[in-house]
Chain A
Amino acid sequence: DAGVTQSPTHLIKTRGQQVTLRCSPKSGHDTVSWYQQALGQGPQFIFQYYEEEERQRGNFPDRFSGHQFPNYSSELNVNALLLGDSALYLCASSLAGPGGNTIYFGEGSWLTVV
């Protein structure tokens, strides 16, 4: 049973460029959330997608956008990259509905902006 998979694992971008990160949720999961984890900090919630729509959004600018596909996979797009966007970007998946659903995280995509 594949867990949450993310790609790429590492990438380097130049300030002002755009980046797309990809995520496949754990098998059977239909909800994908994205988090940003700066070095030495806890993950910060960016947004969540369910049924191909953004359900919740954290305190991140509109430069951060996302998409969820019919197969539940998801993309995170960041435009006009800033040096401060350098971080580990984590994808998390879960199954919608009540009952104590566990949130699983992927290994993350390390983004360095130079």
Chain B
Amino acid sequence: QQQVKQSPQSLIVQKGGISIINCAYENTAFDYFPWYQQFPGKGPALLIAIRPDVSEKKEGRFTISFNKSAKQFSLHIMDSQPGDSATYFCAASMSFGNEKLTFGTGTRLTIIP
């Protein structure tokens, strides 16, 4: 049973545009929601993470929006650049650090000039 659903599966955005990736979770015990960026042949790298006590977190061009009542969270990439082309995974866990991460299925983002 997939506990974190991610959409879209793939996304093409023009350079300078806004990329938006959405995730929904089922387990209300989840309380830590990170986003990972993965380039081909590389391991996932933490991009940004949020806890459910805030509705939004921004780091540079990357913003997470969180809707606890809807059990949804999303990643917004502002001013998208070709270097942002990668696969993005949302994830969730029940506490910081040592609990297992449950990942979404990934979104392949392509930024075109």
Contact = CB atoms under 8 A, between A and B. Distances in A.
Given A103-B34, A103-B46, A42 B98 contact: no
Main SS of chain A's interface residues? loop
B43 A106 contact: yes
A108 B41 CA distance: 8
B46 A45 contact: no
B106 A42 contact: yes
Nearest to B41: A107
A96 B43 contact: no
B61 interface: no
B102 A100 contact: no
Given A31-B98, A42-B89, A50-B98, A104 B103 contact: no
**B interface residue count range (under 10 / 10 to 19 / 20 to 34 / 35 or more):** 20 to 34
Interface in A13-52: 31, 33, 35, 40-45, 48, 50
Given A33-B100, A48-B98, A96-B98, 9 more contacts: A31-B98, A42-B89, A45-B101, A56-B99, A90-B43, A94-B97, A99-B97, A103-B34, A106-B43
17 contacts: A31-B98, A33-B100, A33-B101, A42-B6, A48-B100, A56-B99, A58-B100, A90-B43, A94-B98, A96-B97, A99-B96, A100-B49, A101-B97, A101-B98, A106-B43, A107-B43, A108-B42
Interface of A: 4, 31, 33, 35, 40-45, 48, 50, 55-56, 58, 90, 92, 94-108
